[in-house]
């Protein structure tokens, strides 16, 4: 399979800026119950060839923020502010006509549940060919079909020239997700957003899909934003990690750095709640107490404080009254965290490390 350079995806025109830059992104939804503050002041960037993993619980704003990158929110219902630049082009406030040329072309998305994300009435090949034809108006249907077969082959569907005429319900779960990936990659996107692409799959298929994405990234050189709530998956695929909580980025840094020296109590909580298959079966897991806050009325101060068990390390009621900045901790500019605790390392070593089941083994 040859990587054809699509005419509409010129190499970065914005100088040294990373391919995707998200700055101070806020997304709010006015509802009958009030304003839902789904995402607040979120910033991140992704370079070509790199993978950013976004982790967080349900409702932390992971999907909402990435839907904004595709400009898939209904402008009548969502209030978006800040800046999203894809290859130098500002996405927020872009006209629907210009966005249409970017969607599925320079930026593509893989969705969580491939059974509902593929149209049940159209053949798989036709759906892939449609994505190709949308951005290659001079291509014939025959070429688009050949391209669809080629892509199905590329993502490892056996007998692609036969399966191209199958309907989605004739595919297995893993094959559907492969078809979804083929559809997203058919126009050689420079940025791929994968929204929990493996959540609906069993672990064997999950591993295959993750390998596939990494192979494809090597071949296509795309930037990937990988959204998941599974730290195990993140550890495998991500170069950088962004931890989100209640619509905000709470910790950001390189994958290894975050996983080995987490500096934010929420990240500690996420890690302590991972079970260890080789561990002591009588040992108790350490789930994060409580539930994610309502985004209709987020807590004052640090949005994690109602669930945080480390607030006694912070003088006064700082956690309740003041939102901590996302700033570098003691480990340099590459590692940002949003927490008031000053002596994080000491707290981590003495109180947290022992709870990390996988850290001991």
Does 135 interact with another protein (rule: CB under 8 A)? yes
Subset of residues 251 to 310 that bind another protein, contact rule: CB under 8 A:
none
Q: Tell me the closest approach of the beta carbon of residue 32 to another protein, in angstroms.
A: 11
Q: How many residues bind another protein (CB under 8 A)?
A: 26
**Which one of residues 118, 148, 212, 246 is an interface residue with another protein (CB under 8 A)?**
118
When binding is defined by CB under 8 A, the residue of 33, 95, 120, 280 that contacts another protein is: 120
Of the residues 134, 199, 294, 322, which one makes contact with another protein according to CB under 8 A = 134
CB 250 within 8 A of CB 223: no
Residues 6+ apart with CB under 8 A from 291: none
Q: If binding is defined by CB under 8 A, does position 72 make contact with another protein?
A: yes
Q: Which of 21, 42, 91, 131 binds another protein (CB under 8 A)?
A: 131
In the block, which residue shows the tokens 């990373």? 18
Find the helix or strand (DSSP H, E) in which 241 lies: strand 240-245
Among 359, 336, 345, 356, CA closest to 43 = 336
Among 26, 68, 84, 111, binds another protein (CB under 8 A): 111
| CA distances to 6, 72, 79, 99, 234 from 128, in Å | 17, 20, 32, 20, 28
Candidates 17, 45, 57, 130: give the one binding another protein (CB under 8 A). 130
Applying the rule CB under 8 A, the residues between 194 and 253 that interact with another protein are none
Give the C-alpha separation, 67 to 109, whole Å: 9
Residue of 21, 48, 109, 339 interacting with another protein (CB under 8 A):
109
Q: SS3 of 109, please?
A: strand
Q: Is 183 in the site for another protein (CB under 8 A)?
A: yes
**Which of 102, 308 has the CB closer to another protein?**
102
Q: How far is CA 189 from CA 84, 85, 131, in A?
A: 17, 15, 12
Query: Residue 280 has which token pair?
Result: 């002591």
Residue 105 binds another protein, judged by CB under 8 A: yes
Q: Binding to another protein (CB under 8 A): which residues in 150-179?
A: 167, 169
Tell me if 70 contacts another protein by CB under 8 A: yes
CB atoms within 10 A of CB 163: 19
Our CB check for another protein shows the closer of 192 and 231 to be 192
What is the torsion angle, in degrees rounded to the nearest 10, for the CA atoms of residue 69, residue 73, residue 75 and residue 80? -50
- Residues in touch with another protein (CB under 8 A): 70, 72, 96, 100-105, 108-109, 111, 113, 116-121, 130-131, 134-135, 167, 169, 183
């Amino acid at each position: 399979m040859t990587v054809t350079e699509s005419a509409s995806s010129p190499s970065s025109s914005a100088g040294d800026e990373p391919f995707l830059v998200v700055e101070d992104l806020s997304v709010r939804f006015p509802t009958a119950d009030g304003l839902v503050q789904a995402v607040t002041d979120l910033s991140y960037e992704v370079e070509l060839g790199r993978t950013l993993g976004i982790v967080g619980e349900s409702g932390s704003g992971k999907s909402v923020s990435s839907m904004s990158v595709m400009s898939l929110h209904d402008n009548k219902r969502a209030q978006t502010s800040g800046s999203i630049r894809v290859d130098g082009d500002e996405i927020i406030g872009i006209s629907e006509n210009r966005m249409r040329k970017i969607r599925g072309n320079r930026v593509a998305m893989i969705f969580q549940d491939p059974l509902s994300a593929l149209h049940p009435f159209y053949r798989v090949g036709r759906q892939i060919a449609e994505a190709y034809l949308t951005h290659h108006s001079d291509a014939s249907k025959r070429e688009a079909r050949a391209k669809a077969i080629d892509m199905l082959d590329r993502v490892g569907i056996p007998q692609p020239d036969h399966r191209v005429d199958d309907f989605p319900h004739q595919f297995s779960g893993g094959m559907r997700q492969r078809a979804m990936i083929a559809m997203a990659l058919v126009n050689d996107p420079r940025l791929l957003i994968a929204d929990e692409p493996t959540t609906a799959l069993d672990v064997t298929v999950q591993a295959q899909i993750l390998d596939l994405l990494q192979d494809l990234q090597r071949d296509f050189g795309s930037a990937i934003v990988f959204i998941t709530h599974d730290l195990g998956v993140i550890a495998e695929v991500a170069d950088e990690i962004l931890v989100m909580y209640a619509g905000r980025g709470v910790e950001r840094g390189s994958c290894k750095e975050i996983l080995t020296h987490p500096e934010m109590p929420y990240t500690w909580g996420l890690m302590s709640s991972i079970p260890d298959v080789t561990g002591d079966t009588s040992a108790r897991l350490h789930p994060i107490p409580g539930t994610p806050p309502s985004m209709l009325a987020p807590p004052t101060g640090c949005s994690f404080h109602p669930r945080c068990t480390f607030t006694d390390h912070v003088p006064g009621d700082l956690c309740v009254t003041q939102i901590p900045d996302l700033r570098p901790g003691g480990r340099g500019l590459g590692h940002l965290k949003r927490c008031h605790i000053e002596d994080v390392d000491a707290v981590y070593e003495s109180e947290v490390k022992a709870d990390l089941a996988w850290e001991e083994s």
